[in-house]
Structure 1
Amino acid sequence: MKFFSGLQLVAVILLGLLLTSLWSCLPENENKTSKKGAIPPAPMVLVDKVTPADIPLQRTFTGHVEGIRSAEVRAQVTGILEKRLYDEGKKVKAGDVLFEIDPSSYQAVVDQAAARVASIRARLARAKRDLDRALPLAERNSISQRDLDAVQTEYESSRAGLAEAEAALRAARINLDLTRVKAPIDGFASMARHNVGSLIQAGSSQSLLTTIHDVDTVQVVFPVSDTQVRRIQGYLADGRAVMNTPISAHLFIDEEHPYPHAGNMVFGNPVISRETGCMIAKASFPNPEKTLLPGQVVRVTLDILTFINALAVPEQAVLQGRDSAMVIVVAPDDTTRFKPIEILARVGRLVLVASGLEGDERIIVEGVRKVGPGMKVNPRMANPADQSGTTGTKV
């Protein structure tokens, strides 16, 4: 009985092995096995066609606001500051009296000069009468030449003295008028530099009383580095770009608040400072709402030049190799080719290509990391809306 049970066990084992062998030969299992050696499908990538286009170059600089006209209000006569007649920070008009300096000493000089003028006029009148009497007498030889010369000399001296006295009177009146310090231009007057009762010394640093800023139009003053200047000159020198005329300017008070009024670059100093390595440039902006204030730090973006018939690719399409940058071109048979390129410039999210592309190539703009040289791909044209202006024809 035990021997018969052993034969049954052997038969069961053999039957199991046979069933296992048959299962492995079924068609379904053949399919699973064959899939392990199958060629994977070509990866899908987004491509775009490189097309020549005119592309503007913008550069952003940090600067500060200045009034288009600023005038220092200085005392031109010495004296005690008696009055301040304007509201600090308010708008004033040219000719408005802003300060008064004690006029008493200057009034006394005017009175003295006026009295001297009156005295010399009387002397001149007497000399004129003497001359009028002497001339007929001289014709009849009733007066010596010496006496006639003396009368004429007195008359001429009195005339010269009167001219001198009148000039002194005018100067005294000017100084008296200067005790009333007036605004030289329209604008906003800043804080007073001295309190009422202070001694103001003309011709010294103490003579500055306040400053007026005309901010109807403002200018932004900003530095441009020597490197940036030379790079722009290089773009223009090789004929790849032309300078924009005028150079339009756009202002940003901060990241969230672009200034609503466009301006223009109005000045570029042709001298590079040895201390800073920069040149100073200015852009002018209208300021109707008086939003921009002198001293305010802002950013200004300039449309400096335009690249003509430039080839541009999105920055995400560029691979940086050890020795050069490259893009992946999709050939007509949908295989990939890695092409080295020379970068001309970077403009926003675009990379401008100096050499390496001829134009009209299809380049991979999405999926560059999942393909290799000579690989078959499944190219799909990129949606322009998704590219957000990153292809060669969209800026």
Structure 2
Amino acid sequence: MKKKPIFILLALVAFSCSKTTEPISQAPPEVKVTPVVSQEVKLEKDFVAQIYGKMDIPIRARTEGFLEGIHFQEGRMVRKGDLLYTVDPDPLKENVNTAMSQLAEAKVSLTQAENDLARYEPLAEINAISKKDLDAAVSRKKSAEAMVEAAQSRVNFQNIQLGYTSIKSPISGLIGKTNAKVGEFVGRDPNPVILNTVSIIDSVRVEFFLSENDYLDLFRDYQEHHNKEQRAQALRLILADGSVFNHEGYVDFVNRQIDTNTGTILIQATFPNPESLIRPGQFARVRAAISTVPDGILVPQRAVNEFQGRFFVFLVGEGNKLTQREVKLTGPYRDYFLIESGVSPGDKIVLEGLQKVAEGLVIQPVEVKFESQFQD
């Protein structure tokens, strides 16, 4: 009778072990996929560039002296003819007074010579004086006239020098920070000679350098359109924050020679700047189209795996089963890769979570459109 509980316990254990646990089926994981697209691709290249005003006119001190006045607000627009600076005019006023005195003396000498000649001419007609005396009187008059002209030139010169003490704007534009303050001696090195700069910025000049190969590609297009009296291809300006300037520019100058030290050539383009957003001195990048692929196949760069120099994507196949497919790249294009072979337009590839998928995995595809971070 004591063995019965043990028998019952063993029977229960055997009965429980005889039951089999059925496996729990898991749903395929959701994975974001995107279609391979085909479109015209303009292969572009960026070049480091520096920006200048349409005109950048230095304001120079053309005469020496102490700076007496500054008559503008820095960083504001000025009009052509506006008074910008005044230099102490007193030394130059004295020079003008001295020149005026010399002119007065020359005029007195001329009057005396004219009077002498007026007396000698009647006497010469009646042979009361010799021809030699008459000739001498004529020479003195001409000499006095020359002295008056020379003295008048000195007066004009000194007035011009005096005018340099009032420095006016040669153009209408934006003026910068002054390089000299009131009381400084200006007009002689090492003291300030260039006091400021006025720039026209309703459009800007952008200068950049091309290698010889890039120059040949870009300039052939420029020359072709220029000869046909058409505008060459547009250039885009990429600002320091990565944004694309909302106005296009065009090449308007190519330097005459290649720099033998760097193997590059200077290119200048002009961009409209109606909002005055761009300022001289900024650095930016010029984006130019080097060539065009009519039906380029594009794949987002983040959808591509690289292993030992080979590139792969995960292709969604029949039954939503993933296949690892090798692709050949032509090169990068913005945040895409331009594909030479391996996939076709319309194929769906895994966009995100490449580390979580594998060959043969069945997924639940969630189709999304890839949004490029680059602006057109």
| Structure-1-length-normalised TM-score | 0.66
Counterpart secondary structure, 2:98: helix
Q: How does 1:30-41 map onto structure 2 within 5 Å?
A: 32=22
Counterpart secondary structure, 1:51: strand
Q: How does 1:329-368 map onto structure 2 within 5 Å?
A: 329=315, 336=323, 338-347=325-334, 349-353=335-339, 355-357=340-342, 359-360=344-345, 362-366=347-351, 368=354
Q: How does 1:229-268 map onto structure 2 within 5 Å?
A: 229=211, 245-251=233-239, 254=241, 262=247, 264=249
Query: How far apart, CA to CA, are the structure 2 residues paired with 1:183 and 1:237?
Result: 38
Query: How far apart, CA to CA, are the structure 1 residues paired with 2:102 and 2:159?
Result: 14
Letter of the structure 2 residue corresponding to residue 121 of structure 1: K
Select the residue among 309, 312, 318 that pairs with 2:304: 318
Counterpart secondary structure, 1:205: coil
Per-residue deviation at 1:173?
1.2
Select the residue among 144, 156, 165 that pairs with 1:158: 144
Matched, 1:96 2:82: yes
Superposed CA deviations along residues 261-319 of structure 1, whole A, max 9, x for unmatched, are 535366777766969x997877645264x666666x66x45442163322221112212
CA RMSD of aligned residues (A): 5.1
Select the residue among 287, 292, 296 that pairs with 1:307: 292
Paired residues of 1:262 and 1:285 also in contact (CA < 8 A): yes
Query: How far apart, CA to CA, are the structure 1 residues paired with 2:9 and 2:117?
Result: 164
Select the residue among 24, 31, 38 that pairs with 1:51: 38
Query: How far apart, CA to CA, are the structure 2 residues paired with 1:199 and 1:82?
Result: 10
Gap runs ≥5 in structure 2: 226-231
Superposed CA deviations along residues 174-211 of structure 1, whole A, max 9, x for unmatched, are 12222233333333352361333x444x3423243731
Q: How does 1:377-388 map onto structure 2 within 5 Å?
A: 382-384=367-369, 387-388=370-371
Select the residue among 185, 193, 206 that pairs with 2:191: 206
Letter of the structure 2 residue corresponding to residue 149 of structure 1: D
Query: How far apart, CA to CA, are the structure 1 residues paired with 2:304 and 2:297?
Result: 13
% identity of equivalent residues: 19
| Structure-2-length-normalised TM-score | 0.69
Per-residue deviation at 1:341?
0.8
Letter of the structure 1 residue corresponding to residue 368 of structure 2: N
Q: How does 1:167-316 map onto structure 2 within 5 Å?
A: 167-186=153-172, 187-188=174-175, 190-191=177-178, 193-196=180-183, 198-200=184-186, 202-208=187-193, 210-214=195-199, 216-217=201-202, 219=204, 229=211, 245-251=233-239, 254=241, 262=247, 264=249, 284=271, 286=273, 288=275, 300=284, 302-305=286-289, 307-309=292-294, 310-316=296-302
Query: How far apart, CA to CA, are the structure 1 residues paired with 2:7 and 2:111?
Result: 163
Show the counterpart of 2:94: 108
Letter of the structure 1 residue corresponding to residue 349 of structure 2: I
Per-residue deviation at 1:339?
2.4
Letter of the structure 2 residue corresponding to residue 106 of structure 1: L
Per-residue deviation at 1:20?
7.6
Superposed CA deviations along residues 237-266 of structure 1, whole A, max 9, x for unmatched, are 999xx99723132545x57xx698535366
Matched, 1:124 2:110: yes
**Structure 1 pair 145–379 and aligned structure 2 pair: CA distance change class (3 A):** farther
Per-residue deviation at 1:170?
0.5
**Structure 1 pair 158–180 and aligned structure 2 pair: CA distance change class (3 A):** same
Mark the structure with the bigger radius of gyration.
1
Letter of the structure 1 residue corresponding to residue 101 of structure 2: A
Gap runs ≥5 in structure 1: none
Paired residues of 1:70 and 1:211 also in contact (CA < 8 A): no
Paired residues of 1:84 and 1:100 also in contact (CA < 8 A): yes
Query: How far apart, CA to CA, are the structure 2 residues paired with 1:318 and 1:286?
Result: 40
